[in-house]
């Protein structure tokens, strides 16, 4: 049975977003585990993580530096540090969370 190219890569993505990623129909064609599976009927169809992380608001930081460990523990990643001096948002290269120096921090009236 020939697989039809009717399924998207993810619920909210029709195309791949990484050079190393194969389209779903290519990745599942010819593999015994998917031989009799109609991929169009498979649920859940998760939203792509790249879009989920993009929806997370930027974390404003009072200082000049921030660090990210992806939440820590077994589900986290190695701690990385960011310089926030230029005022632009910086994304963690591991998990994509964004950090930015709070432009209003330290400007309180005494």
Instruction: Give the Cα separation of 80 and 96 in Å (integer).
Output: 12
The pLDDT value recorded for residue 106 is 73
Query: Element (H or E) spanning 52, and its range?
Result: helix 49-54
Place of tokens 């989920």: 52
Average pLDDT over residues 36-45: 67
CA torsion sign for 54, 71, 85, 58 is positive
Domain boundaries, the chain: 1-47, 56-101
Contact between 90 and 110 under an 8 Å Cβ cutoff? The reply is no
The predicted-structure confidence for 53-85, as pLDDT tens digits, reads as follows 989 999 999 999 999 999 878 889 999 999 999
* Percent over 90 (pLDDT), the chain: 38
Q: Which CATH superfamily does the domain covering 56-101 fall into?
A: q5lls5 like domains (2.60.260.40)
DSSP H helix total and E strand total for the chain: 2, 5
pLDDT band at 39 (very low <50, low <70, confident <90, very high): low
């Amino acid at each position: 049975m020939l697989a039809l190219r009717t399924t998207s890569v993810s619920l909210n993505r029709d195309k791949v977003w990484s050079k190393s990623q194969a389209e779903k129909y290519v990745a599942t064609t010819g593999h015994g585990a998917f031989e009799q599976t109609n991929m169009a009927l498979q649920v859940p169809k998760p939203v792509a993580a790249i879009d989920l992380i993009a929806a997370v608001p930027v974390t404003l930081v009072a200082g000049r530096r921030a660090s990210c460990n992806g939440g820590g523990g077994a589900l986290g990643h190695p701690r990385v540090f960011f310089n926030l001096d230029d005022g632009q948002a910086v994304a963690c290269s591991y998990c994509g969370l964004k950090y930015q120096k709070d432009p209003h921090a330290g400007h309180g009236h005494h």
